[in-house]
Amino acid sequence: MESLRLHYAPDNASLCVRLALEFGGIPYTTALVDRANAAQRQPAYLAINPAGLIPALDTPHGPVFETGAILLWLADRTPGRLFPAPDAPARGQALSWLFWMANTLHPTLRSLFYPDQYLPAAPASLRHAARHRIATHLDLLEDAWVPDHVLQMCYLAPMLRWPALYGGQTDWYDLGRWPRLHLFAQVFEAMPAAQAAARAEGLGPTPFSAPHPANPPEGRPI
């Protein structure tokens, strides 16, 4: 695997990519995007990711940005290790869930965390609606999703963590309401690759099943 560098901030969407790198056994280095100084909006970072969002991944062929795109790029360079290979029968269903996470669940979480960016006239109303939509999305996952592809797990696990910590009032959220997802979080966080990622970002021993605020060695979370 070529030399890769992950532009990250702790407990951000870059965590999904770090998890995939760890689970894939893919060598990489990291570069902190210092949110305390709004580094994601500075020219140096915008030259890597013009959207000014975290994460981005430096590759020998140029930068890749957008969480889902990075994950799929990594998967296609490790065929069958993180995700079904392009010619595998399971590929279509796996892609469906991956894109659902990227296009449906993740944007809904963003509207919970950053309502002023989407509805500045009524951020509280947007947050209320987002909580309901997230619960509906998790109902769907509880009923229909099967954790059988590592890449999906790496994307989903942080998204099960964040509602417990971010987005204003958090007492509405209890992962135990979704027993299958809660069990997945417990099993996933016990895996050595997940533990390595959690240590790197100061997430504690139960980062996905019973989250606590991050205490990272550098940078700051959302």
pLDDT in tens, 66-78: 999 999 999 999 9
pLDDT higher than 60, residue 1: no
Domain membership flag for residue 7: no
Could you give the CA distance from residue 14 to residue 31 in angstroms, rounded to a whole number?
Answer: 11
Residue 221 has a pLDDT of: 84
Residue 17 has a pLDDT of: 99
Could you give the CA distance from residue 130 to residue 111 in angstroms, rounded to a whole number?
Answer: 7
CATH number, domain of 163, equals 1.20.1050.10
- Look at residues 107, 106, 86 and name the one whose alpha carbon lies nearest to residue 95: 86
Q: What range does the domain containing 114 cover?
A: 90-191
Residue 220 has a pLDDT of: 87
Tell me the Cα Rg of the chain.
17
- Look at residues 55, 69, 153, 59 and name the one whose alpha carbon lies nearest to residue 103: 69
Domain membership flag for residue 116: yes
Count the domains in the chain: 1
| Tokens 């140096």, residue located | 44
Q: What is the pTM of this model?
A: 0.97
pLDDT in tens, 36-50: 999 999 999 999 999
